[in-house]
Each structure stands twice: as C-alpha cells, then as structure tokens.
Structure 1
Amino acid sequence: MSKRITDSQLIGEIGESAAKTRFLNIGFQFDGRSRLEAGIDGIAEIMNDGTPLAKMIAVQVKATDKAKYSNETDEGFTYLLQAEDLHYWRTSNLPVILVLYRRSDDSFYWKEIPDAFSVEERKLVFDKNADLLNHQAADSIAQLTVSKAGHGYYVPPLGGGEDALVNMLPIKLPNEIFVASTPYSPKQAMAILLDKDEPPRFDWAIKGRTFWSFHDPRKECTAQIVDFDQVEAIETSTIAYHDEIDEQHNFSFLLKQVLRHQFKQDLGWNKERKIFYFLAEAENQNRAFRYRSSVNRAEADVVNVVKDRKEDHRVSFVRHHAFSARFELLLDQWFLIISPTYHFTTNGFIPHSYPAALLAGKKRLDNNASLRGQVIMWHRLLSGSEVPKDDLFGSHHSGEKYLDFGSPPSVSLPTTVPEQAWVSAKPKKVPETQDDLLEGL
C-alpha cells in the first residue's frame, strides 16, 4: 500500500506555516519546533522595531479547513481545550497562547491559557473582534511576558507614546491636629458614642490611650471620650511625617476615617471589600454625576440600574461606581491612591449575593480610557470642584472639609503601555486593628 499523508496532517502543516507568516508580519520572530512536540508548535519572540527582546511566548496552533467552531455566531464562539493539553501547558515556564487558524476564510484568533484554568472549566470564549491575531494584538501578546511578581518589568510595545495619568491625589492637610488623652480603648469609645442621643462621629483615632482628630473634640460629641482638660492643638506635621512606620499607619487610618465622614452623604463604605461607593438616592433609581473631564463636561451614571434582558420591568442588579482607597506617605507628601472598581446591589441598598461574577464581567469591558475617566471623576468629587447633578448648593459633603485633594499627576511615556500590563498585587491580610472595629459602622 502506498504511503499517504492524511488531510489532518496536511492542514496541520498549513496552519503552522500560516501562523509563522502571521507572527512575522506582526513583527515577532517565530521558530517552529521539531516533530517531537507534544503540545507546543512554536516559540514567538517579541521584537521592538526589529530588535529581539529575548521575551518568549509558547504557541500552540490548531488549524481547520472550513469547519465551524462550537457555538459560532457573528460575534464569537467557544473552544474546548483537551485535558491532556491543559495539564502539559500548566507546567510551562513560558506564557502559553492558543492560535486558531481556519483556511477557508484565512482567519486567525488567539487566546492566552490562564495559569489558574482548571481542568473542569476548560472552555475558552473567543470574541471575533477582540481576539483577532493581527497588528492590534501585538501589545496584548507582548504584555504576557511581564512578570506578575513584584514590580516586574515592562516590555516596550510597537506603538507610539502617550500621557499617563497616575491614580494618586496629593492631599493638603489641615495645619493643626487635636491630641488628647483618653481613658478608653477604641471599642469602648465607639460604644459610648453610639449610646448617646446625638449623632456619633468616628473621624478620629485612638492609639495607646491617645486621641487624634482634626476637629476640636471639646466642641463635639467626642468630648465624652477624651480628658477634656488634656486637649491640645499641635502642628499636624508633628504626627503626619513621623519616621516610625506604625505611626504612619495610625495616621493613614485617621485619614480614611476623615474621608468617610467628609463624604458620608454621597459615599457608602463596604466593609467586606473595603471600598467606597456612590450611594443610591432612591430604590432602583439611577444617579448621575456631572463633572469636567480632561477637555469637556461629562456626565456619568454613578448608580446604574440594569434591567433584565428578557423582562424589561425587572431589575437584574444595580451597579455603583466605587474605588478602593489607600493612603501613602511619599517624600513628605501624603497621597490618596485610588483604584476604580464597582459595587453591586439588588436595588441600590441591599448587597448583591454574587458580586464577583458581575465585577469580572464589567472589568473585562474597562480599558485605559474608561479607567482614566473614572480617576478624573473621583478627583472632581473629592476635590469639591464639581457637585452632583441635583446638588446645586454643594451639600454633597458633611460641611466640614478637613482634607483637600489636588489633581492627579501626569507623566509622559515614550511608548504606549499595553492595556493589560497594569496589574495590582494581591493585598496581604493584616492583623485586626482599630480599623476593623470602626469600619463596619
């Protein structure tokens, strides 16, 4: 019997050759492997203007002649990974991408194989617009070589430069801070204030029987938790710029409590996720915020009621613009570091039971432009330069403005940063502090 090359072998060879040509046209090097390959067809090397960068990506090519993909529509399709392939890829010391090639329409799609992908959940979802393997995908593929541990390193992409907005707002602190002795622990002081008839306030900190606040406790309800004759006003810089890291942490806690109090009429606090979010004004009702963006005036639906697609009268969930806040002392300047995110409720007030899935879906749609807009929006609110749509008299904060926020700094970058290259480190769990005692209020 004569030897015969099967159609499957032939289309496989055609697919690998076509993929190599496509990577070369994009500007990457591509080296195919030997016949002994077990799930990696080639290695793509990132190049910048023809200069190899020694940043490698493992590529597996799956080719077909004209067959349709699973669940294929005009928008996308799904692809089920083989369990043995997934086991093999998970041991790789290189990022791995899957490239799908169809000869009938000369289409190329690509997708990263996530590290945390489980064998039980091994279905990839492809978007026919977002996942095309072309010149526009070069930056996204290059960013896969960025280290996810520590500060990592940056792979220069193939595009031009851009201006980057840093999500840090410089803080102008009050000139003086009030210090007093107290016989109470934070938990005891909190119980005393909650037990009284007048509205309590918690924009203070207690550490080692010493009370700190930017307001004069002798004139407020906090007079009940301090030694009245021991209250003293001192320069804020004495405490704010202390060399000891524990003292800086205590001051950071005070700043967060003051922020919560200053914007309590507009911003809620989610204890579990430790985020600030726009409060709803009424059940199942949108809320808009008008502000000036980089150039023009803009309006954002900061509380957005999302209806069920099948039953328009039924509310599926309510999405709130939100941010996580971190206070940092850098070179004798305190900053508020803002990380935009979202909070989800069922009707504007009751927390949603499954917010993680909703958040993941929304985050996938966010890009550099939308995040930039959110940072600008939060600056406008916190700085008081803009007021909410229905708040013409500026009553959106408590009336006491102890913290002033400057504009986020802008830096000019020589090259465009890939959209997904910015990753945040997973926060470390910290031991219980007075923060945990008060943040749930």
Structure 2
Amino acid sequence: MAKNVTQNQLVGEIGETAAKLQFLKIGFQFDPRSRLEAGIDAIVEVMDHGRPLAKMIAVQVKTTAEGKYPGEDANGFHYLLKKEDLVYWRGSNLPIIIVLHRQSDETFFWKEIPRGEEFQDRRLNFSKREDLLDKNAVDRLGALTVPKSGFGYYVPPLGGGEDALVNMLPVRLPTEVFVSTTSHTRKQAAAILLEADEPARFDWVIKGDAFWSFHDPRTSVCRNIVDLDQVEAIEVEALAFHEDVDERNNFSYLLKQALGHQVRQELSWDKEKKLYYFKAKARNTPRTFKYQSAKKATEADVVNVAKNKTEKDRVAFVRHHAFVPRFESFYDEWFLVLEPTYHFTFDGFTAHTYPDALLSGKKRMDNSAALRGQVIMWHRLLASLEPKSDDLFAEASSEPWLTFGPPPVIELPTKVPEDVWGTPKKDDTEKELDLLSWP
C-alpha cells in the first residue's frame, strides 16, 4: 500500500513554518522541537534588536486552512483548549502561548495560557486588535518572561525609557532593642497580657527563654512577662545584622510585630492570607484616604462598596486596599517589601466566601500606573502614622518607632508599555460584578 501524507499533516507543517517566519519577522528566534513533542511545538527566544536575551517562551501552533473561528465577528472570537493540553501545560516552568494561524487570510493571533491549578476555564477569548502576532506584540511577549515576584520587579519592555519605583521601603530602625529573660512561652505570655488590666501589646518576640522588643517592657504591660532585673538595652545592629541567619529571622519577625502594633488603628490583619487591609469605619460604608502623590494631593477609595447589578440596594461585595508585607535585609539595610493586593468582604467586616475570582479579575485590571500609585499610597499611610516630633509633650513622641523611607527609584533604559498590564475598557467595579455571574 502506498504511503500518504494527510492533509492535516500538511496544514500543520505549513502552519509551523509560517509561524517561524512570523516570529523571525518580529525579531525573535523560533526553534522547532522534535517529532516527539506532546503539546509544545517550539521554543521562542526573545531578542532585543538582534541581541538574544536568554528569555524563553513555549509555543503551541494551531493552524486551520480556512473558515471562521468559534464566535468570530469583527472584534474577536474564542477558542476552546483541549483538557489534556491544559493538564500538560500546568506543569511548565516556561510561559506558554498558543498561536492560531489561518492560511486563507494569513492571520496570526496569540494568547498566553494561564497556568496553575486555579485555572480551569478552557475557553480563551481573542481580540483581533490586541492579540495580533506582529511587531506590536513584542513588548507583551517579552513581559511574559519576567517573573512578577521576589524582592521587587519591573517589566522591561524593548523600547523607550522611564523611571520606575521598586516596591520596597527602606526601614529606619530604633537605636536600641530591649532584651530580657522570660519563663513563659509565647502562648502563655499572650494569655497573661490579655488578662491584665492594661491594654495588651504584642510587638515583641519570645525565642526560647529570650524576650526582645523595641520598647522597654518595664514601661508597659509586658513587665508581667519578663524578668525585670534582667532587662537591658543593646544596640539594634547587634541583632539586626547578626551573622546567624536564625537570629536575623527572629529580628525580621520582631519587625513584623512592631509594624502590626503601629498600624493597628487603621489596618486589620488577615491571618490566613497574611495581609494587612484598610479597616471599614462602618458596615457597607466606603472609606477614602487622602495623601500626597508623587505630583499632587490626591485620594484613594481604600474601602469600596460595590452594589449588585440587578438589585441596586443590595451590596455585592466590599473591596479593601491591602498589601502583603515582607521584611528583607540587604547588606547593611532592612526593607519592607510591599505586594499591593486587595481584600474582599461582604459588608466591610465579614470575609467574602469566594474572593479569588474577584481578586484575579481586579488584578487583571490594574496597570503599571495603578501599582505605582498603590506603593506610594502605602508609603504615605505609614509615614502619616509616625509620631509627630514637633509635639514634645505627646506620650507617643518617646515611643520607639519603625519609620519608612520612600520607595527607591531606578532608571529603566526602556519604558513599560501599558498594554503589558492590560487596559480596562469599562469601569473596574462593573467588571468585578461580571465575575460574580460566572457559572
């Protein structure tokens, strides 16, 4: 029997060759994989004007000879992914995109494949204007290769230039740390403080039989949990930059406890998600924070009440500005790393049952300017809580305090394009309400 190459095989081979040519036209390398591939046809390397950057993207090419895509109109269409492909792609350590090529009109569209177990939707929605695979897609493709995590991040596009904020605040430490011995565990100490007649405070650390705090425990309710004759003050550098990593970790925990004490009037702590969020002043009531931005006085709706789309008198959810804190030391300085995010409640106080869809939807709407503004806002809030040094008779003026410098500014050789972050096309709250109608 004579061997035949099927039409589907020919179309697939033509599609990969056409995709390779298209990537070469926009300036990227395209390296096809072997015939043993199981869902990734090629690896693309990002290049900047001919300079390879060692930034890789996995590519799956789907080619059709002619005909319309599902739901296609003048603006876009959708495409249904295979279940087995999704299972395979979830384990990838590279960003993955799917490229759709249609021979009849020589069009190329692309879309990133969301990864992780939380992504279950097989349908991708394509925009004919925004998702074209051409030179205008270079910055968005390059941005896929930059991990948005760690000690601060920025998306380096391939043209332009601007200043960027790093989401880290330098910490100015008190000059002393008070240390003592204690016979109590942390749990026992907490119970003693809660039963005392004075307000409890928890800006301290107990490790073994050692007690650390920035404030003198003899002047607060903490006198009940330490050996008073053993209290002494030592220079903060002795613990802040200790050679032992465990000691530095203990100091990091002390910073976290001190931060919690300082923001307790304005922010609440979500123990499960490990984030601080703006408190609501009253049930189903919005809250605004006024501050000085980089250029002018401004304000932010830090507690936003969203009404139901069909029942206008019913609250759908309440969104709170929030951040995940982390303290890190670099050389001879400590930093508070801020990860801006959001917290969702039903009425300002009761945690929302299904916040993840709302959070992911809101994050997709945030652009680089929004993230920059949030970092500035959090710095302004922390600065506003500092004791006023001009009030010499205020009791708080003698309180040891963590103070925070402004976020560092770095000069980028290239500019961050807004289309990397996505541009909202309608009101943020309206989009979030749409999420609540998902099946």
Query: Is TM-score (shorter-chain normalized) higher than 0.5?
Result: yes
- For 2:208, give the aligned amino acid: G
Percent of aligned pairs sharing the same letter: 61
Counterpart for residue 368 of structure 1:
368
The corresponding residue for 1:403 is 402
- Please give the secondary structure, in 2, of the residue aligned with 1:192: helix
Look up the equivalent residue of 1:134 and give its one-letter code: D
> Hey, what does 1:303 align to over in structure 2?
303
Q: Which residue of 2 aligns with 1:231?
A: 231
Taking the aligned partners of 2:235 and 2:287, their CA distance within structure 1 comes to: 40
Question: 1:309 Cα deviation (Å)?
Answer: 2.1
Moved more, 47-56 or 262-271: 47-56
Q: Structure 1's 68 and 285: CA in aligned 2 closer, same or farther, altered over 3 A?
A: farther
AA aligned opposite 2:402: L
Distance in 2, Cα, partners of 1:181 & 1:278: 36
CA offsets 1:259-304 (integer angstroms, 9 cap, x no match): 1111111011010111111111111111111222222222111111
Change (3 A) 1:399 1:303: farther
C-alpha contact (below 8 Å) 1:170/1:406 kept by paired residues? yes
Which residue does the alignment assign to 1:326? Answer: 326
Moved more, 60-69 or 238-247: 60-69
Match of 1:247 in 2: 247
Change in 2 beyond 3 A, CA 1:45/1:222: closer
Per-residue CA deviation, residues 299-324 of structure 1 (Å, 9 max, x unaligned), is: 11111112222222221111111111
CA shift for structure 1 position 148: 9.4
**1:345 Cα offset (Å):** 0.8
Contact 1:276/1:322, CA 8 A, preserved across alignment: yes
Asked if the contact 2:177/2:215 (under 8 Å) is kept, the reply is: yes
Amino acid of the residue matched to residue 324 of structure 1?
Answer: V
Report the alpha carbon displacement of residue 246 of structure 1 after superposing the two structures with TM.
Answer: 1.6
Aligned equivalents of 1:179, 1:228: Cα separation in 2? 10
Rounded Cα–Cα distance in structure 2 between residues aligned with 1:313 and 1:221: 46
- Please identify, of 10-19 and 407-416, the stretch whose mean Cα deviation from structure 2 is larger: 10-19
Deviation at 1:142, TM superposition (A): 2.7
How many Å apart are 1:21 and its aligned residue? 5.5
Task: String of CA shifts for 1:340-393, please: whole Å, max 9, x gaps.
Answer: 111111111001111222211112222322211111111111122899xxxxxx
8 Å Cα contact 1:320/1:342 also seen in 2: yes
Could you tell me which residue of structure 2 aligns to residue 426 of structure 1?
A: none
Show the counterpart of 2:337: 337
Code of the residue aligned with 2:401 in structure 1: it is Y
1:140 is displaced (CA, Å) by: 2.4
Q: For the structure 1 residues 279 and 34, does the alpha-carbon distance in structure 2 shift closer, same or farther, using more than 3 Å as the test? A: closer
Q: Which moved more, 1:292-301 or 1:274-283?
A: 292-301
Contact preservation (8 Å) 2:386, 2:401:
no
Who is 1:427 aligned against? none
- Unpaired runs of at least 5, structure 1: 388-394, 423-441
8 Å CA contact 1:140–1:419 kept in 2: the answer is no
Counterpart residue number, 2:350: 350
2:150, 2:280 → 1: CA distance? 38
Conserved? CA contact 1:180–1:231, under 8 Å: yes
Q: Report the counterpart of residue 207 of structure 2 in structure 1.
A: 207
Corresponding residue for residue 435 of structure 1: none
Amino acid at match of 2:404: F
Change (3 A) 1:132 1:287: farther
Q: CA deviation at 1:47?
A: 2.6
How far residue 414 of structure 1 moved from its aligned partner, in angstroms, is: 2.3
CA distance in 1, matches of 2:368, 2:126: 21
Distance 1:235 1:52 in 2: 49
1:267 paired residue number: 267
Aligned position for 1:429: none
Mapped to 2, the partners of 1:116 and 1:373 lie a distance apart of 28
1:82 offset after TM fit, Å? Answer: 3.1
Distance 1:292 1:119 in 2: 38
Letter in 2 for 1:358: L
Q: Deviations over 1:73-107 (max 9, x none)?
A: 67654311234655776798865422234578775
Q: In 2, distance between residues paired with 1:356 and 1:252?
A: 29
Counterpart of 1:301, as a letter, is D
Secondary structure of 1:324's aligned partner: strand
Distance (whole Å) between structure 2 residues aligned to residue 225 and residue 414 of structure 1: 54
Give how far 1:195 is off. 1.2
**Judging changes above 3 Å, is the alpha-carbon distance between structure 1 residues 43 and 234 closer, same or farther for their aligned structure 2 residues?**
closer
Shift of 1:154: 11
Moved more, 229-238 or 12-21: 12-21
Provide the C-alpha distance between the structure 1 equivalents of 2:124 and 2:87, rounded to a whole number of angstroms: 15
Where does 1:90-169 land on structure 2 (aligned, <5 Å)? 95-101=95-101, 108-116=108-116, 121-128=121-128, 130-145=130-145, 157-169=157-169
Q: TM-score, normalised by structure 2?
A: 0.78
Counterpart CA distance in 2 for 1:46 and 1:120 is: 28
CA displacement at 1:72 relative to structure 2: 4.9
Report Cα offsets for 1:385-419 as digits up to 9, x if no partner: 899xxxxxxx9x99956111111111222234688
In structure 2, the CA distance between the partners of 1:351 and 1:239, relative to structure 1 (3 Å rule), is same
Deviations 1:1-48 (A, max 9, x none): xxxx99989987886676456434433345778999986666644332
In 2: Cα distance, 1:406 partner to 1:218 partner? 30
Q: Find the residue that maps to 2:300 and give its secondary structure.
A: strand
| Native 8 Å contact 2:386 2:403 kept in 1 | no
1:280 aligns with 2:280: yes
- Give the drift of 1:162: 2.8
Tell me: CA distance 1:285–1:401, structure 2 relative to 1, closer, same or farther (3 Å).
farther
